[in-house]
Structure 1
Amino acid sequence: MIGSNLNGTATVGAPGASRGIQFESELSLKRLLPRIEPVWQAAGTDAKVQHEFETRLEEHWLPLFVLLRELYGDRYDFFYHLEQILLTAAQAWANRPAALRAVDHHRINEPDWFMSEKMVGGALYVDLFSDNLGQLRQHIGYFQSLGLTYLHLMPLFAVRPGDNDGGYAISNYRSVDPRLGTLEDLKLLADDLREAGITLVLDFVFNHTSDDHEWAQRAQAGDLEYQQFYYIFPDREMPDQYERTLREIFPTVRRGNFTWHDGMQQWVWTTFNNFQWDLNYHNPAVFRAMLEEMFFIADTGVDILRLDAVAFIWKQMGTSCENLPQAHLLIQAFNRLARIATPGLLFKSEAIVHPDEVVKYIGRDECQISYNPTLMALLWESLATREVKLLSQSLSHRHKLPTETAWVNYLRCHDDIGWTFDDADAAAIGINAYNHRQFLNRFYTGQFEGSFARGIPFQENLATGDMRIAGTMASLAGLELAIEEDDETAKQEAIGRILLLQGVTLSIGGIPLLYLGEEWGMLNDYDFVKDPAKAGDTRWVHRPKMKWEFLEELDDSVTVEGGSIRRRLYRALQNMIAVRSSLPALAGQNMELVNTGNPHVLSFVRHRDAHRLIVVANFCERPQSMSGNMLRTAGLGRFFEDALSGQTYGTSQDLHIEPYQILWLKRV
């Protein structure tokens, strides 16, 4: 049932038990509060700082207690872990650096700080972009020049040698990969980014650890306490029962979800790779241990944690072990504890699952921001079909989010593209979803006649027909093929497609996120196959190393092969970001679709307070038109200026849109 705490905040509780639970939570807190005193004394925490913690603790304690009781209340050691969790939170606040406490205070008073029109993100691998953290500090000016205010660094903590799933097999959450630098280097970078007004985002890989993590090593040594940190089975009886309802994530790498460990002579649950051991969150000791790691990472100066693989964190026999209710309870419990001890910290959900499930992770009490995989997939779908019917169908009921939350809108990332649109959305407009996905796979691997794309398959499953797509944005948008064929018209069309998609993600509502390299139109890097640790993972094709000599090409007097294309893309994107940052209408999430009557043209209105902007985008290589009267009624004006080009348009005639053109129209 839905109950409420003393402050009126909605909480989940057992039917008819809300008053009893409230009494239990208040009595538990009364008994536990004196246990915190030694924490304050040991840290020399002053009375004001203690009071701030205890005020937030009182605000969030009841919903936190309900969540933890729901997850672990039937455990014999529940109250021991409850006490340890509370002490962990108090220790985190006591150790919180003063500069981060100041950020906390600001964000408590401005909870929608991340929804500004000035928020524009970039993501990168440290070693591929700057070699190491020290050199990355020297490139902060580059981010500022491009207009970025949000920087996501792909996993940088210590990992296992060799294949480590691109950094997602963590050996030690408290140590930076020595090839990238030290923990002190990370803290210095965080300080510099904060001074530059750039939000820092790091990954929290909390579904699994590497098989060489200390906990896994202790489990391998026979320590029963740490074997209970994972799912370890003596024979195939239970794994086989689980497998009946599980899907395979990397079917071309390995079959099934369990790995035989010769040393232990037992089976280990490994959803992703055989060296990534799934953590057992049925054990409250795992929750508490990962809470400690989360607080440690938060105190390096990170502003947002990307929660990796959120869909998989709870297992239950007879289910798919994805998107289970307890997964949401776990994240909500982490959220409440962050709001108590590190209140400036936000969570970003990484749930590449069905659209109906993605949105369930988004909320002020769960993940305040989330990747938008459906928008990403459907923007590429619209480029392939030259039509926006499926995109519009999805946006019509999937874009809206709860208050104080936001989408993270991206076009490419370190990962593959999966066609995660809803089959029902496709059927509603007469599309067979299975056949359409097969078409998209053929199109984006260049196997469909007339395709401009040069993607390559990732995890192709011949048995099911499933496939995902790897490739850089520029290669998928046609630039690689155009350059190969030295076709000037095709080059211009590819540039148009790239800027069209960037223009949509920068304006549709939420936080736009570039995968750095996109600003230069970087092409697929096929040399990844030369590295044995990467050769088996085709996603490395779209993880090229930054070429800093490109900056020289921003000088118009420099002429090099391909330089004019890279310069044009960079300058155009830089201008788009600057214009976005000047338009208050682009803050927040509010977006209303405009029915253009043209299947090739997407249009929507963005508004905030008295500010209004109408976006018009042509997804076709031929000129299109839209009713001038429709523009007048949607934009509430007779004359409009394109904020990107400065060109003025009237509404007495139809609006003509050039091939792959995007317009950001404001009333004049």
Structure 2
Amino acid sequence: MNSLAENLVKLYGETIGKALLLKIRSFIGVRENRTVHRKLNERDLFFITYADTFQEPETVPLKSLANFLSSRMKGLITGVHILPFFPYSSDRGYSVIDFYKVKAELGNWEDIGEISRDYTLMADLVLNHVSTQHLWFKKFLEGDPKYSDFFVWYTKDNLPPSDLLIKVARPRATPLLTRFNTSKGERYVWTTYSVESSTDQVDLNYHNPEVLFEVIKIMVFLLGRGVSVIRLDAIPYIWKKLGTDCYLRPEVHTIVKILKAVLKMVKPDAYLVAQASVPFEKNTAFFGKNGDEADLVYNFPLAPLILYSFFKEDPSALIKWAKELVFPKDNVGFLNTLGTHDGLGLNGARGSFDEIKIAELVDHLKGRGVLVAEKSKEGKKVPYELDTTWWSVLDDGDRESKFLSSIALMLSFKGVPLFYYGLLFGLENDIALYKKTGVKRDVNRGNVNLKKLFEDPKRRLIFDSVKKLIERRKTISAFSPSANQSILEVHPKVFAFERGSDGEKVACFYNFSNGEVVFQCRGKEMKIEPYGFLWTVNFD
């Protein structure tokens, strides 16, 4: 029995599992494509953007994005993650109404295809939920028996006791069950997520094999539309079992294994990315064994640890974490980032540095006006996310030096760099948009006018500086994701490491203090300006 069959049987039992296997094989048919991954190297870099981030007069947003990529990013990046471009009802795309359509205001599938011809295209498969406006949920509300078990629901008479509901781990503090009126009466539907206090995202029920089959069909469709990287969104919460925390259940990994097996059958050179804002050890578990789960996972601790090191002018916590970090094998790896459309996650840093340090950092940033999102944990609210751009979260003193040094660190640390669009320009928090929508994350999600952006001397200067860093990285083979990394201990204020295997090596030094540091390394005197950095190739 192959791995796909084994995992389907493991999830649903022999009879249902084997029947679903036949259904999947019948759907995808015989595939002759036997291409395999191109090994990622130092030239690879992903760019994250919304379809409508870059605005031009009388131009469809996806065409504006294509124009920006060809005129400004050609040769700099190899991959583009276009955040959900489907019709949606909220959450800037993550409350999906129809996975088979491009939102008309953004463009069409031909526009998506044009971008995919020049770049490795990443797209989201939102696993946990759909919009209340999705056809499946509309049919559920209408009482269609086919969709009765597509969602997790209860009647008023059989609501679970509160002591069971309070155990459920969630990234939101809103009520877990939301009341809806259906043709068959009131139904209380499981809603893990919300946008601030508004709930229009209803959880899918993976206990129903038809739900998994429909999700597989969506993934296969996306792969056929030019997508080469499938990002599994919000995976920790997809399997519900009352009496547990419904968080990272073993069945979650089984489902990821199933999706990976199907992906490889359909498009062997495609990649699977797991998005799980969870403590780092649990996050890396999504690599699975021998690459049977995700190819890439997010290195979430890196950004908060850099931020804390700047705050304390002390990289010791960062050094300790980096020393203990176990890197995966060559066929899988980390995505290094300084924030995404979801801001700066704190949950992924838990376990990498202690709660006292996290609380200290959060208190400091709250004092500076940084927005902090909270989640529900055993009935209590705990901080899980900083809603801010990277530029705005850095303290005022020597901000530009800190900004460029931290980007250099992200580019040089073992893994594949992932640039959210605001990082290219040092965009500031969009407070006006936040005040308009009331959604904290929107401070980091504003659209930009391309012409005005490049007419702004400050943003243009930052873009040119970041561009030079990227161009330099691409010339240093020791920055390949497969190249080794070892920590160097040189000075209490300096985070240092060496990259490279056989052949070229590069030593990287980052000063986290507001003063110049002078130190000896391998018999050479080194000097770094406040919050500065050095990349030294073949340093012996």
Q: Same fold (TM over 0.5)?
A: yes
Query: By how many angstroms is 1:421 displaced?
Result: 6.2
Partner of 1:579: 472
Q: Which amino acid aligns with 2:297?
A: S
Counterparts of 1:435 and 1:125, CA distance in 2: 35
1:328 counterpart (218, 234, 253):
253
Query: By how many angstroms is 1:125 displaced?
Result: 1.1
Give the match's secondary structure for 1:250: coil
Partner of 1:312: 237
Counterparts of 2:473 and 2:237, CA distance in 1: 36
1:410 counterpart (337, 342, 352):
337
Q: Which amino acid aligns with 1:523?
A: E
Query: By how many angstroms is 1:424 displaced?
Result: 5.7
Q: Which amino acid aligns with 2:12?
A: Y
The answer to whether the 8 Å contact 1:588/1:608 transfers is no
Structure 1 residues 355 and 657: alpha-carbon distance in aligned structure 2, compared to 1, 3 A threshold = same
Partner of 2:403: 498
Counterparts of 1:466 and 1:422, CA distance in 2: 12
2:87 counterpart (145, 158, 166):
158
1:247 partnered with 2:169: yes
Give the match's secondary structure for 2:417: strand
Structure 1 residues 550 and 655: alpha-carbon distance in aligned structure 2, compared to 1, 3 A threshold = farther
Partner of 2:426: 521
Partner of 2:371: 456
Query: By how many angstroms is 1:455 displaced?
Result: 2.3
- Which whole-Å deviations, capped at 9, do the CAs of 1:532-557 have from their partners, x for residues lacking one? xx32x11101112223235644xxxx
Counterparts of 1:296 and 1:424, CA distance in 2: 38
Q: Which amino acid aligns with 1:329?
A: T
Q: Structure 2 matches for 1:206-285, cutoff 5 A?
A: 206-235=127-156, 236-238=158-160, 240=162, 242-251=164-173, 254=174, 256-263=175-182, 264-273=185-194, 274-285=199-210
Counterparts of 1:158 and 1:242, CA distance in 2: 35
Q: Which amino acid aligns with 1:66?
A: E
TM-score by length of 1: 0.74
Structure 1 residues 582 and 320: alpha-carbon distance in aligned structure 2, compared to 1, 3 A threshold = same
- Which whole-Å deviations, capped at 9, do the CAs of 1:548-593 have from their partners, x for residues lacking one? 235644xxxxxxxx61x32332222111111111111110244433
Q: CA RMSD in A?
A: 2.3
The answer to whether the 8 Å contact 1:587/1:608 transfers is no
Counterparts of 1:343 and 1:423, CA distance in 2: 34
1:299 partnered with 2:224: yes
Counterparts of 1:543 and 1:298, CA distance in 2: 27
Q: Structure 2 matches for 1:398-477, cutoff 5 A?
A: 398-420=325-347, 426=353, 433-445=354-366, 447=367, 455-459=370-374, 464-466=381-383, 468-477=385-394
Counterparts of 2:162 and 2:29, CA distance in 1: 42
- Which whole-Å deviations, capped at 9, do the CAs of 1:63-105 have from their partners, x for residues lacking one? 111111101115x5443322111112217x48xxxxxx5xx62
1:201 counterpart (119, 122, 138):
122
Structure 1 residues 614 and 210: alpha-carbon distance in aligned structure 2, compared to 1, 3 A threshold = same
Give the match's secondary structure for 1:261: strand
Partner of 2:6: 66
2:21 counterpart (82, 98, 103):
82
The answer to whether the 8 Å contact 2:304/2:349 transfers is no
Q: Which amino acid aligns with 1:469?
A: L
The answer to whether the 8 Å contact 1:417/1:469 transfers is yes
Partner of 2:267: 342
**Greater relative contact order: 1 or 2 (C-alpha under 8 angstroms, separation 6 or more)?**
2
Query: By how many angstroms is 1:628 displaced?
Result: 2.6
1:379 counterpart (297, 306, 313):
306
Q: Which amino acid aligns with 1:378?
A: L
- Which whole-Å deviations, capped at 9, do the CAs of 1:612-663 have from their partners, x for residues lacking one? 111111111111133232xx5xxxxxxxxxxxxxxxxxx1xx3111111111
Give the match's secondary structure for 2:124: strand
1:656 partnered with 2:527: yes
The answer to whether the 8 Å contact 2:490/2:521 transfers is no
Counterparts of 1:221 and 1:500, CA distance in 2: 56
Give the match's secondary structure for 2:330: coil
Moved more, 230-239 or 173-182: 230-239
Counterparts of 1:126 and 1:424, CA distance in 2: 34
- Which whole-Å deviations, capped at 9, do the CAs of 1:347-406 have from their partners, x for residues lacking one? 111110011100000242111011111112211121211111111111122251133111
Q: What 5-or-longer segments of structure 2 have no aligned partner? A: none
Structure 1 residues 548 and 304: alpha-carbon distance in aligned structure 2, compared to 1, 3 A threshold = same
Partner of 2:508: 615
Q: Which amino acid aligns with 1:592?
A: Q
Q: Structure 2 matches for 1:467-616, cutoff 5 A?
A: 468-478=385-395, 482=396, 490=397, 493-529=398-434, 531=436, 534-535=437-438, 537-549=439-451, 552-553=454-455, 563=457, 565-616=458-509
Counterparts of 1:519 and 1:425, CA distance in 2: 27
Query: By how many angstroms is 1:319 displaced?
Result: 1.7
Counterparts of 2:160 and 2:347, CA distance in 1: 31
The answer to whether the 8 Å contact 1:230/1:280 transfers is yes
Q: Which amino acid aligns with 2:64?
A: Q
1:625 partnered with 2:540: no
Q: Which amino acid aligns with 1:662?
A: F
Query: By how many angstroms is 1:212 displaced?
Result: 1.4
Counterparts of 2:171 and 2:4, CA distance in 1: 32
Q: What 5-or-longer segments of structure 1 have no aligned partner? A: 1-24, 26-61, 95-100, 427-432, 448-452, 483-489, 554-561, 633-650
Q: Which amino acid aligns with 1:407?
A: F
Give the match's secondary structure for 2:345: coil
Query: Which one has the bigger helix percentage?
Result: 1
Higher gyration radius (CA): 1
Q: Which amino acid aligns with 1:80?
A: A
Counterparts of 1:345 and 1:146, CA distance in 2: 21
